[in-house]
Amino acid sequence: MIELTGVSKSFGDQLVLDEVDFDVRVGETVALLGSSGVGKSVLLKHINGLLQPDSGEVVVDGMNVRHLPRKELAELRSRIGYVFQNGALFDSENVYENIKLGITDETCAADENYCHDRVTQCLKLVNLAADTASKYPAELSGGMRKRVGIARAIAGQPRYLLYDEPTSGLDPVNADIIDSLVGKLQEELGVTSIMVTHDVRGAFKVADRLALLHEGRIIAMGTPNDFMTSKEEAVRQFLERDFDMTRSWFELESGDSGENGH
């Protein structure tokens, strides 16, 4: 379980997170929504200790990330796969080496046969051909880089997956592929996932619960149905842009008449 309590974070004079409370239960997928620059990625980076809060607590599996010694923090990070917004692939290494770095168990990482099999398996899971392994990040398209980023994140068999804007900058077709992939990994690997996004439709498609970050605070958190029926002004405004498309999809999925949405 992931639990953030009263987390605040400032950069200089700018308050980005203002006493944020946020929790994710084991096995669920939560989409963290919010406008660009609102602090979604900052919140996500607190979960694996890439950023430390100015105040408040971040607890993962009962361990307070803020006070973890170096070794325990490294061990915790190896259980949390992190998919970066632009892939953050090591550009001097090929795809094989990139994914291999994701194998966090030292014994497994030292076994070349295991690494080869695991890399091939991960590439297959993210719908990439085995020959992609020999390519360098610069030779890949944006969508492929994102998928390699996901493959690297799952290579170490994590319990948690954190996705930072997995569909940003992608065309609708590739965005749908990534959304489906998030759902598929959730089903096949049973991981607990948090997806930071401003793609409302994608969030409704894959998430069990949604949270909306607005002006440094989580102002709404609930199921897709709760969001569709929310009277909260900020939620309505955020959903408005994609509302018709999202509502149609939601009605189709839930078999709802759509009356709840108004």
Interacting residues toward another protein by CB under 8 A: 45, 48, 50, 73-78, 80, 82, 84-86, 88-91, 101-102, 104, 152, 156
Nearer to another protein, 2 or 212 (CB): 2
User: Got the DSSP string for 61-124?
Assistant: TTEEGGG--HHHHHHHHTTEEEE-TT----TTS-HHHHHHHT---HHHHH-HHHHHHHHHHHHH
CB 25 within 8 A of CB 221: no
Quick check: helix, strand or coil at residue 149?
helix
Nearer to another protein, 90 or 130 (CB): 90
Q: Least separation, in Å, of the C-beta of 67 and another protein?
A: 17
Q: Least separation, in Å, of the C-beta of 121 and another protein?
A: 18
CB 95 within 8 A of CB 137: yes
Nearer to another protein, 34 or 149 (CB): 149
Q: Least separation, in Å, of the C-beta of 168 and another protein?
A: 13
Nearer to another protein, 17 or 103 (CB): 103
Nearer to another protein, 81 or 202 (CB): 81
Q: Least separation, in Å, of the C-beta of 94 and another protein?
A: 14
Q: Least separation, in Å, of the C-beta of 145 and another protein?
A: 11
Q: Quote the DSSP letter at residue 165.
A: S
CB 224 within 8 A of CB 204: yes
Q: What gap in Å lies between CA 137 and CA 122, rounded to an integer?
A: 16
